[in-house]
């Protein structure tokens, strides 16, 4: 069961919208950009009708983890991920933004996708079969699908407004953006990729390939004015393979979207509109995979908006807790409250991405100003043993859905 309804789009009429991508809604905030990752999911180049609850949080918090980790290689665009540090104009939207948004430095995006490949898959594998090369890079003969390459390669692509990006050679990239900038982006792409792969492999995940985006600031000097933007080494921008299921010589199931792709193949969707929606089991499994990738790679728990139930055999009332600000649950016992508080602090200790102050949040029938809502349908609550994060009796992650 799923904890919250997915956020498929945001609409903040008091803010100026800068753009909307397949996944992100972008707003202008003074000189900066507010980038909000929604729960939209795309497959075969279409945004599907169903979202994956919390996917936007996984993408944001995983990117934040990597941005930090790569900070000594290249400057990044993150100004703040802690909603409390966002400007006052954004505070009315704190609830929606928490955990899934970044205030970013506005840059001029370089119009190529910087792809790094360590394994032969996807469009790289297709091209290799026809030409023995990928994006102008000649590879050894006799490689099989999903084989590891002798060393990671840089294979840029143009950014298509719609449909597939088109692979280009390094020379073509140089014609588009200049030789110096291409060389700099190639070096950065491979450095970031290598570091990411090393870390991921130690966590049992192979990053077969990925794409980075860079932006320019100031005068756009390739040596000093390049900034890493967008998202970094997420399941959306990369092919993650579970290391224990890696077998070259065919397609390796991807870590995250495999259930979605399998389902779409199974219903024989013709990959044309109208786009299908996904059954709840596929949504749930996909969500679990995104969260697992985040946990494994970052060693953190997904922060903010997670609902906790604190209960004990002696405590008949559950406390409904989120790591959000404000609101008080008047229905829970002090025992439940202190259990829950401990759980939240435990989460915060393992999660530097957590941006919120722990506090007791509303119970499902308590309004945002703390007043009780009129009686109405209660969310359905379900405890799953696998959701127990602390191992301590009485503290469980819970999921709920509207009753
Ligand atoms: N710091 C930044 N400055 C300017 N543009 C950015 C920055 N970070 C990300 N972007 C742009 O924001 C958009 C992100 O939205 P997304 O949903 O990921 O788009 P897409 O459908 O192109 O993948 C991309 O077009 C990306 O180039
Ligand atoms: Mg994108």
Under 8 Å between Cβ of 324 and 356: yes
246, 122: one domain: yes
Q: How many domains does the chain have?
A: 3
Query: Which ligand has its closest atom nearest to the C-alpha of 230?
Result: 1
Answer yes or no: is pLDDT of 311 > 80.
no
Residues 6+ apart with CB under 8 A from 308: 319, 320, 321, 322, 340, 343, 344, 395, 396, 397, 398
Q: What is the CA(394)–ligand 2 centre distance, in A?
A: 40
For the Cβ of 106 lying below 6 angstroms from any atom of ligand 1, the answer is yes
234, 137: one domain: yes
State mean pLDDT over 21-39: 97
Query: Which ligand has its closest atom nearest to the C-alpha of 165?
Result: 1
256 belongs to a structural domain: no
Q: Nearest residue CA, atom 22 of ligand 1?
A: 21
Q: Quickly list DSSP for 49-117.
A: EEE-TTHHHHHHHHHHHHHHHTTTTS-B-EEE--GGGS-GGGGGGHHHHTTTEEEEE--EE-SEEEEEE
129, 158: one domain: yes
134, 95: one domain: no
State mean pLDDT over 279-294: 96
For the Cβ of 17 lying below 6 angstroms from any atom of ligand 1, the answer is no
Please state the atom number of ligand 1 nearest to the C-alpha of residue 24: 17
6 belongs to a structural domain: no
Q: What is the CA(23)–ligand 2 centre distance, in A?
A: 7
165, 102: one domain: no
Q: How high is the pLDDT of residue 255?
A: 85
pTM of the model: 0.78
Residues 6+ apart with CB under 8 A from 4: 53, 54, 305, 307, 400
- Say which CATH number the domain at 91 has: 3.30.200.20
7 belongs to a structural domain: no
Q: Which two tokens stand for residue 322?
A: 């989120």
Answer yes or no: is pLDDT of 98 > 90.
yes
11 belongs to a structural domain: no
31, 78: one domain: yes
For the Cβ of 113 lying below 6 angstroms from any atom of ligand 1, the answer is no
pLDDT band at 397 (very low <50, low <70, confident <90, very high): very low
Max avg pLDDT among 153-167, 183-197, 337-351, 369-383:
183-197
Please state the atom number of ligand 1 nearest to the C-alpha of residue 22: 21
Across the chain, mean pLDDT equals 81
Max avg pLDDT among 158-162, 275-279, 348-352:
275-279
Answer yes or no: is pLDDT of 120 > 60.
yes
Q: What is the CA(150)–ligand 2 centre distance, in A?
A: 28
Domain that holds residue 320: 307-401
Q: What is the CA(349)–ligand 1 centre distance, in A?
A: 31
214, 114: one domain: yes
Among 8, 17, 26, name the best residue to mutate to test ligand 1's pocket (greatest count of ligand atoms within 8 A of Cβ): 26
């Amino acid at each position: 069961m799923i904890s919250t309804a997915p956020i498929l789009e945001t609409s903040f009429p008091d803010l100026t919208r800068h753009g909307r991508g397949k996944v992100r809604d972008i707003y202008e905030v003074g000189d900066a950009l507010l980038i909000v990752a929604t729960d939209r999911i795309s497959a075969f180049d279409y945004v599907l009708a169903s979202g994956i609850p919390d996917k936007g949080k996984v993408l944001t918090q995983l990117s934040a983890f990597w941005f930090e980790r790569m900070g000594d290689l290249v400057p990044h665009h993150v100004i703040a991920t802690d909603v409390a540090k966002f400007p006052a104009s954004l505070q009315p939207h704190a609830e929606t933004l928490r955990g899934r948004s970044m205030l970013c430095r506005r840059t001029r995006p370089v119009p190529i996708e910087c792809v790094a490949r360590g394994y032969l898959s996807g469009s790289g594998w297709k091209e290799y079969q026809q030409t023995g090369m990928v994006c102008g890079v000649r590879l050894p003969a006799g490689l099989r699908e999903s084989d590891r390459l002798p060393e990671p390669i840089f294979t840029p692509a143009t950014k298509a407004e719609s449909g597939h990006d088109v692979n280009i050679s390094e020379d073509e990239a140089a014609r588009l953006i200049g030789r110096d900038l291409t060389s700099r982006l190639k070096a950065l792409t491979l450095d970031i990729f290598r570091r990411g792969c090393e870390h991921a492999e130690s966590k049992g995940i192979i990053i077969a390939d990925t794409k980075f985006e860079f932006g320019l600031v100031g005068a756009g000097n390739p040596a000093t004015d390049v900034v890493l933007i967008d998202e970094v080494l997420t399941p959306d921008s990369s092919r993650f393979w579970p290391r224990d299921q890696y077998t070259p010589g065919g397609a390796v199931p991807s870590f995250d979207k495999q259930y979605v792709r399998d389902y779409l193949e199974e219903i024989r969707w013709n990959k044309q509109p109208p786009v299908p929606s996904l059954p709840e089991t596929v949504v749930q499994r996909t969500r679990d995979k995104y969260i697992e990738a985040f946990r494994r790679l970052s060693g953190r728990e997904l922060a903010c908006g997670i609902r906790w139930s604190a209960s004990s055999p002696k405590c008949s009332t559950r406390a409904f807790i989120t790591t959000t600000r404000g609101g008080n649950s008047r229905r829970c016992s002090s025992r439940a409250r202190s259990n829950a508080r401990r759980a939240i602090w435990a989460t915060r200790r393992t999660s530097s991405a957590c941006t919120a102050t722990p506090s007791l949040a509303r119970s499902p029938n308590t309004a945002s100003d703390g007043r009780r809502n009129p009686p109405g349908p209660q969310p359905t609550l379900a405890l799953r043993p696998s959701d127990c994060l602390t191992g301590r009796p009485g503290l469980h992650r819970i999921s709920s859905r509207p009753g």
